[in-house]
Amino acid sequence: MANMGERAKHVKNMLVSVWGDGGGHVKVVKAPGRVNLIGEHTDYNDGFVLPVAIDREIIMAGRPRDDGKVRIYAADLDAKSSFDLKDIQRDPHAPWSNYIRGVLLLLKERGLPVKGMDVAFSGDVPLAAGLSSSAALEMATGLMATIVGHFHVDMVDLVKIGQAAENTFVGVNCGIMDQFISGLGRKDHALFLDCRSLEYELVPLPPMEDYKIVIANTMVRRGLVDSAYNERRSQCEQGVRTLAEYLPGITALRDVTPAEFEQYRGHLPAIVAKRCEHVIYENQRVLDSVKALRAGDVAQFGRFMGDSHRSLRDLYEVSSKELDTMVEAAAKTAGTVGTRMTGAGFGGCTVSLVEAPSVDGFIAEVGDIYTARTGLEPEFYVCQAEDGAEQLEF
């Protein structure tokens, strides 16, 4: 991003103005948010996903302290939180700090030489919009801890620590997609990830001069997202237990082909069958999408995005009136190649692939329709695929 250097300097200056100019040399890292192109609610089923790291990120400045204390300044909230590495607890008054606390605690529990530090951070990933600002904060923290503490952790291990921090410390039962793409995304590429083996391939995106990724924020996020998410997870697990009676050896929906599912779906309660159908066919759509993108068949990829949305809406039932309205508006706008809800659902954002010359018209038209139907003002972010978490030199 053009102004990354400027923003990095700004965060660095904030660190010094808030926490004083003593101490060691200040280092700066970035970790991006993400948008998932296809493969929704598949990661916790050991399945496949195809996300992109976007050019919106958390920038974090940090420097070491010798007394084992951690002091954090969240610039966008103008809020502070401090703690001692010897006694890391959740802070109910600064819940945003729990992502940082959790990552540092887990690094420490793995016996790594985590050092005290002064930190300031700021970001332009919209909060609570389903674009993984929390995963970005976890990855920025993990990377900063390794730099300040002079130790090395493989990026995939940092990703696992980020996810574990969110699962066990923050208390959100997410899969591994968000941290993985924030850690390992690559400029101009989507990342095709096997969430079981954690093997991945970078898939070149259609040329940016021709197609843009446009994220549309419904500006609504339902409170029930966490409980509904956990309910979907257990319905999938229930499906696996029943299907395993007929398909011995399966341990996740990832192991079930569409043909096998069709053979045994009658043994599942109707609602569980719907959930499983989404996941099993969505996995197949990711595999087919990668093939389509590699073959340059952008139109086919766009159709898979539409299929994915309908499946999330009708079978997995994690869409919302606002998401459906945005998708319907986008689907009938000139230049749209494909469009769907993205992320956990129940509000948040849609992602569309749009022909570059049509982007301005897309934003105007979809915005008008959405506002007319919902009374809400959406936000649009035209994004490009960027590199994952890294130290910034400037």
Please, what is the minimum distance in Å from the beta carbon of residue 96 to ligand GLA? 17
Interface of this chain with ligand GLA, residues 14 to 43, rule: CB under 6 A: 40-41, 43
Q: Count residues near ligand GLA (CB under 6 A).
A: 10
Please, what is the minimum distance in Å from the beta carbon of residue 350 to ligand GLA? 14
Please, what is the minimum distance in Å from the beta carbon of residue 22 to ligand GLA? 38
**Cα dist from 33 to 150, 178, 210, 222, whole Å:** 25, 8, 23, 20
Cβ distance 288 to 304 under 8 Å? yes
CB-nearer residue toward ligand GLA: 158 or 369: 158
Give the phi and the psi of residue 142 in degrees, each rounded to 5. -60, -45
Please, what is the minimum distance in Å from the beta carbon of residue 166 to ligand GLA? 8
Q: Which residue has the tokens 């574990």?
A: 164
Stretch that binds ligand GLA, among 170-178, 180-188, 255-263, 371-379 (CB under 6 A): 170-178
CB-nearer residue toward ligand GLA: 114 or 129: 129
One-letter amino acid at 365 equals: E
CB-nearer residue toward ligand GLA: 114 or 136: 136
Helices (H), the chain: 4-19, 98-109, 133-149, 155-164, 177-184, 225-246, 258-264, 270-294, 298-314, 321-331, 359-374
CB-nearer residue toward ligand GLA: 33 or 302: 33
Residue 102 binds ligand GLA, judged by CB under 6 A: no
CB-nearer residue toward ligand GLA: 363 or 383: 383
Stretch that binds ligand GLA, among 69-77, 113-121, 171-179, 365-373 (CB under 6 A): 171-179
CB-nearer residue toward ligand GLA: 236 or 293: 236
End-to-end CA distance of the chain: 13
Interface of this chain with ligand GLA, residues 40 to 69, rule: CB under 6 A: 40-41, 43-44
Binds ligand GLA by CB under 6 A, chosen from 344, 349, 369, 389: 344
Binds ligand GLA by CB under 6 A, chosen from 29, 177, 181, 252: 177
Please, what is the minimum distance in Å from the beta carbon of residue 349 to ligand GLA? 11
Binds ligand GLA by CB under 6 A, chosen from 94, 107, 137, 174: 174
CB-nearer residue toward ligand GLA: 40 or 307: 40
Cβ distance 59 to 7 under 8 Å? yes
Residue 175 binds ligand GLA, judged by CB under 6 A: yes
Active site residue 297: no
Instruction: List, in order, residues 6 or more apart from 141 with CB less than 8 Å away.
Output: 60, 99, 100, 103, 104, 119
Give the distance between the most distant pair of CA atoms in the chain. 68
Please, what is the minimum distance in Å from the beta carbon of residue 40 to ligand GLA? 4
Binds ligand GLA by CB under 6 A, chosen from 57, 138, 178, 307: 178
**Cα dist from 305 to 162, 256, 286, 327, whole Å:** 28, 21, 10, 10
Look at phi and psi of residue 347 and say left if phi exceeds 0, alpha if psi is from -120 to 50, else beta. left
Pairing label, strands 69-74, 116-123: parallel
Please, what is the minimum distance in Å from the beta carbon of residue 318 to ligand GLA? 8
Residue 343 binds ligand GLA, judged by CB under 6 A: yes
DSSP string, 10-76: HHHHHHHHHH-S-SS--EEEEEEEEEESS--S-GGGT-EE-EEEEEEEEEEEEEEESSSEEEEEETT
Please, what is the minimum distance in Å from the beta carbon of residue 174 to ligand GLA? 3
Q: Is 287 helix (H, G, I), strand (E, B) or coil?
A: helix
Query: Which residues are registered as beta bridge partners of 74?
Result: 79, 121
CB-nearer residue toward ligand GLA: 70 or 351: 351
Stretch that binds ligand GLA, among 65-73, 175-183, 184-192, 247-255 (CB under 6 A): 175-183
Catalytic residue (choose from 43, 178, 255, 307): 178
Q: Calculate Rg over the CA atoms of the chain.
A: 21
Residues identified as active-site: 178
Residues lying near ligand GLA in the complex (CB under 6 A): 40-41, 43-44, 174-175, 177-178, 343-344
